[in-house]
């Protein structure tokens, strides 16, 4: 069975999507439509902007979404998923590719999400860090202690066994990193992000996005979508909406999501969009399973 997966924020790179735009009429249509919907020339930043310009959340999220959806839709009849999933932002790409959301509605929601998250980041100095080489239970325990003693600090992204990203206030994450290294973590790496994604500090963004999601029409997807908040398959539009809203302040349970896809019969994972980050994670969760990456015209 074929699983198609979609990356999240952080997968962007300068020049992303340019070869697709130049070689594929469907990609050109989507990219031009995105410029109109967003009200600024996002393709100019994607094709010719610097890495620093691409790192702005209001640009990054629509750019990764646009690139990801375009690669999937440009596959045409070859896009025949038995299941889909996405990492954080990638869940919106997955929903559009699977027909649960129109491209225009998906892009508007992603833009609203990006702007709401940017505001939440500016309102509260916060950060994230990747913890390498420690059991999830140990990370959870130490985060719980720091959360009670210092400030917000929670496990945010369960990326694969031995790699868990934590999220919270700058002070709390700093204290947690020191304690986690003392507990045996191989590395505790601060991430170059502007906020504590997937933590309670995103509550203002969640409140803002909730209204936009509830006002948007969702259809039943053509195949199950595995969602981050519980790692399980969903097809009911009301459930999908609720999980998308909850996702902003909840942990991304990517490890559990991939494991659930495997249990449902997935034998091949195709990553659509910029980068190969998900394939690296999947290889550590599902050893020996075939992985395919589609991010440019040559791959198509």
Point out the residues that are catalytic: 88, 198
3-state secondary structure of 290: strand
Cα torsion 225, 257, 168, 90 to 10°: value is -40
How many Cβ atoms sit within 10 Å of the Cβ of residue 76? 9
Q: Find residue 84's DSSP bridge partners.
A: 4, 225
Q: How far is CA 47 from CA 27, 43, 253, in A?
A: 13, 6, 32
Task: Give the DSSP H or E segment for 37.
Answer: helix 25-38
Q: Are 199 and 168 in contact (CB under 8 A)?
A: yes
Q: How far apart are CA 177 and CA 139, in angstroms?
A: 10
Q: How far apart are CA 12 and CA 161, in angstroms?
A: 24
């Amino acid at each position: 069975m074929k699983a198609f997966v979609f990356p999240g924020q952080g997968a962007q790179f300068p020049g992303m999507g340019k070869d697709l735009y130049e070689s594929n009429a469907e990609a050109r249509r989507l990219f031009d439509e995105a410029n109109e919907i967003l009200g600024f020339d996002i393709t100019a930043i994607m094709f010719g902007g610097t890495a620093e310009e691409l790192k702005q959340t209001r640009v990054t999220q629509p750019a990764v979404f646009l690139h990801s959806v375009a690669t999937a839709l440009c596959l045409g009849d070859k896009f025949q998923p038995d299941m889909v999933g996405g990492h954080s932002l990638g869940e919106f790409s997955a929903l559009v590719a699977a027909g649960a959301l129109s491209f225009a509605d998906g892009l508007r929601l992603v833009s609203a999400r990006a702007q709401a998250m940017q505001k939440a980041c500016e309102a509260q100095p916060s950060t994230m860090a990747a913890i390498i080489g420690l059991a999830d239970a140990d990370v959870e325990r130490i985060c719980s202690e720091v959360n009670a003693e210092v400030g917000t600090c929670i496990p945010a992204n369960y990326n694969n066994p031995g790699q868990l990203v934590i999220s919270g206030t700058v002070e709390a994450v700093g204290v947690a990193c020191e304690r986690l290294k003392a507990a045996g973590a191989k590395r505790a790496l601060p991430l170059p992000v502007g906020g504590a994604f997937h933590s309670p500090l995103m509550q203002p963004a969640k409140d803002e996005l909730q209204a936009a999601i509830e006002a948007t029409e969702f259809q039943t997807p053509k195949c199950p979508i595995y969602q981050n908040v519980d790692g399980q398959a969903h097809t009911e539009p009301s459930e999908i909406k609720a999980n998308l809203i909850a996702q902003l302040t909840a942990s991304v349970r990517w490890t559990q999501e991939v494991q659930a896809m495997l249990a449902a019969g997935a034998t091949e994972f195709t990553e659509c969009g910029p980068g190969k980050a998900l394939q690296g994670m999947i290889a550590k969760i599902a050893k020996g399973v075939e992985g395919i990456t589609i991010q440019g015209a040559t791959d198509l």
